[in-house]
Amino acid sequence: MDRLDGPARLMIVSDLDHTMVDHHDPENTSLLRFNALWESLYRHDSLLVFSTGRSPTLYKQLRSEKPMLTPDITITSVGTEITYGDSMVPDEGWVNVLNQKWDRNVVLEETAKLPQLKFQSETEQRPHKVSFYVEKGHAQDVISSLSDRFEKRGLDVKIIYSGGIDLDILPQGAGKGQALAYLLKKFKEGGKPPINTLVCGDSGNDAELFSIPDVYGVMVSNAQEELLQWHAEHAKENTKIIHASNRCAAGIIEAIGHFGLGPNTSPRDSSDILVSKLDNFNPSHEVVKFYITYERWRRAEAEKSDLLIQSLKHICHPTGIAVHPSGVEHSLHECIDTFGPHYGDKQGKQFRVWLDRVFTSQIGSTSWLVKFDKWELTDDGRHCSLTTILLNSEPGNPGAFSLLHVHQTWLEGFAARCQNDWIF
């Protein structure tokens, strides 16, 4: 989070299952739309926070299954674990806060007395979270019985019911809302409170997020009954919270527009993608659009025209070079020429391309370096190459620029698989 010089323009704090990630959409359409929007227009000055009920183990599993971005901050295990960056460095301060007034053994002793509680898997039992399954019909009784028992033992805990099945027991000071409040306080103390914060959720454990002062909130269209009911009882008058008309990530995009938090047209929403509509030259936006065009060409979703090849060539400098991870160099124009025959070669097959961690630095008055992780998903699995692009903009002409140099390196372990990979 020290990545930004100033306060974040927008901090999105989003739940994952059935909020950012739509498990009913195998194509991941809205997630990919969100990714392209975030990387092209927000990554450089905003913060992405994932807040999930999953343990780090199940969170990593989800990341390997779905085309998810790397968040700046990851909050796992229902707000009991806060970590930073891709390497997920834990926030020790938060651990200390939660250690106060928490006795896991008392939780285990009391819950063992209720046969309606079925233990969740071992991975989901965490230092500050004990989790069970409870049938919907028993939930209310179980919760009040547990509350009495804990009170008698002098333990102040939080009991959260989500998705009509999951029951989590946490320290009273934990939860997704408290974790967010802790982060906001930290940002404020560091002199960088986000300008706007948008929280996004679909189920019971997300309710707390919506009660944090001053945040905007979106309950996605597919939100669970328990969240909608919480909203009706506690936050009905709050005009900063909406129930979106779109599912999952499309609901998040909708909320960005509804609250006027910034642009909400994803590069994936346009068909004439190579035409630049921005007033200022934005290298991330150009690079994201370039790869969407590449994906569409191979999926036969772009029009098959020489014009498109010509436009692609036009944005590649005549002396531009691409360096393949194997070390082989090609002229950029040569690479674009190889596009042609591959039109539609991925039609009807699994093929998606998305960029993660797009970072731009201006290195001269008209030149820019753009670095990113390029992910490609095919029927053979997915792989990532670290890519650096050098490009030049044309002063006074926002749409005009040229690619000078493209350099890719493989992520460790992928080398063998990608020998015949495309240059882009």
> What is the contact surface with ligand GLC in residues (CB under 6 A)?
53-54, 58, 78, 120, 124, 131, 162, 166, 168, 205
Q: How far apart are CA 20 and CA 67, in angstroms?
A: 11
Of 95, 65, 77, whose CA–CA distance to 15 is shortest?
77
Q: Between 175 and 325, whose beta carbon lies closer to ligand GLC?
A: 175
Min CB(22)–Mg ion separation in Å: 11
Q: Between 18 and 285, whose beta carbon lies closer to Mg ion?
A: 18
Q: How large is the angle between the packed helices 306-314 and 332-339, nearest 10 degrees?
A: 160
Q: 299 contacts which partner out of Mg ion, ligand GLC, none, CB within 5 to 8 A by kind?
A: none
CB of 4 closer than 8 Å to CB of 320: no
Q: Is 202 in the site for Mg ion (CB under 5 A)?
A: yes
Min CB(206)–Mg ion separation in Å: 6
Q: 393 contacts which partner out of ligand GLC, Mg ion, none, CB within 5 to 8 A by kind?
A: none
Strands 196-201, 118-119: pairing kind: unpaired
Min CB(18)–ligand GLC separation in Å: 10
Q: Between 75 and 353, whose beta carbon lies closer to ligand GLC?
A: 75
- Kindly write down the DSSP assignment for every residue of 88-103, as one continuous string: TEE-HHHHHHHHTT--
Q: 18 contacts which partner out of Mg ion, ligand GLC, none, CB within 5 to 8 A by kind?
A: Mg ion
Q: 120 contacts which partner out of ligand GLC, Mg ion, none, CB within 5 to 8 A by kind?
A: ligand GLC
According to DSSP, the residues that pair with 10 across neighbouring strands are 196
Q: How far apart are CA 197 and CA 216, in angstroms?
A: 6
Number of residues lying near Mg ion (CB under 5 A): 6
Q: Which helix (H) or strand (E) holds 107?
A: helix 104-111
Taking the alpha carbons of 150, 155, 156, 162 in that order, is the dihedral positive or negative? negative
Helix ranges (DSSP H) in 135-279: 136-152, 176-189, 225-234, 248-258
Near Mg ion by CB under 5 A: residue from 10, 15, 102, 255: 15
Q: 205 contacts which partner out of ligand GLC, Mg ion, none, CB within 5 to 8 A by kind?
A: ligand GLC
Q: 126 contacts which partner out of ligand GLC, Mg ion, none, CB within 5 to 8 A by kind?
A: none
Q: Between 204 and 325, whose beta carbon lies closer to Mg ion?
A: 204
Q: 387 contacts which partner out of Mg ion, ligand GLC, none, CB within 5 to 8 A by kind?
A: none
Q: 162 contacts which partner out of Mg ion, ligand GLC, none, CB within 5 to 8 A by kind?
A: ligand GLC
Q: Between 19 and 197, whose beta carbon lies closer to Mg ion?
A: 19
- Kindly write down the DSSP assignment for every residue of 44-77, as one continuous string: TT-EEEEE-SS-HHHHHHHHHHS-PPPPSEEEET
Which residue is at the shortest CB distance from ligand GLC? 53
Q: How large is the angle between the packed helices 92-99 and 176-189, nearest 10 degrees?
A: 130
Min CB(359)–ligand GLC separation in Å: 31
Min CB(53)–ligand GLC separation in Å: 2
Min CB(49)–ligand GLC separation in Å: 17
Min CB(52)–ligand GLC separation in Å: 7
Q: Which residue has the tokens 């009882």?
A: 233
Q: Between 210 and 368, whose beta carbon lies closer to ligand GLC?
A: 210
Name the token pair of 381: 């699995």
Q: How far apart are CA 192 and CA 186, in angstroms?
A: 9
Near Mg ion by CB under 5 A: residue from 55, 111, 203, 264: 203
Q: Between 60 and 192, whose beta carbon lies closer to ligand GLC?
A: 60
Write the interaction track for Mg ion spanning residues 19-48; mark x where CB under 5 A is met and - where it is not: x-----------------------------
Min CB(147)–ligand GLC separation in Å: 18
Min CB(205)–ligand GLC separation in Å: 4
Q: 202 contacts which partner out of ligand GLC, Mg ion, none, CB within 5 to 8 A by kind?
A: Mg ion
Q: How far apart are CA 158 and CA 167, in angstroms?
A: 10
Min CB(140)–Mg ion separation in Å: 21
In Å, how far are 91, 132, 200, 238 from 136, measured between CA atoms?
34, 12, 24, 28
CB of 72 closer than 8 Å to CB of 49: yes
Q: How large is the angle between the packed helices 306-314 and 283-298, nearest 10 degrees?
A: 150
Which residue is at the shortest CB distance from Mg ion? 17
Strands 166-171, 241-243: pairing kind: unpaired
Residues of the shown chain interacting with Mg ion in the complex, contacts defined by CB under 5 A: 15, 17-19, 202-203
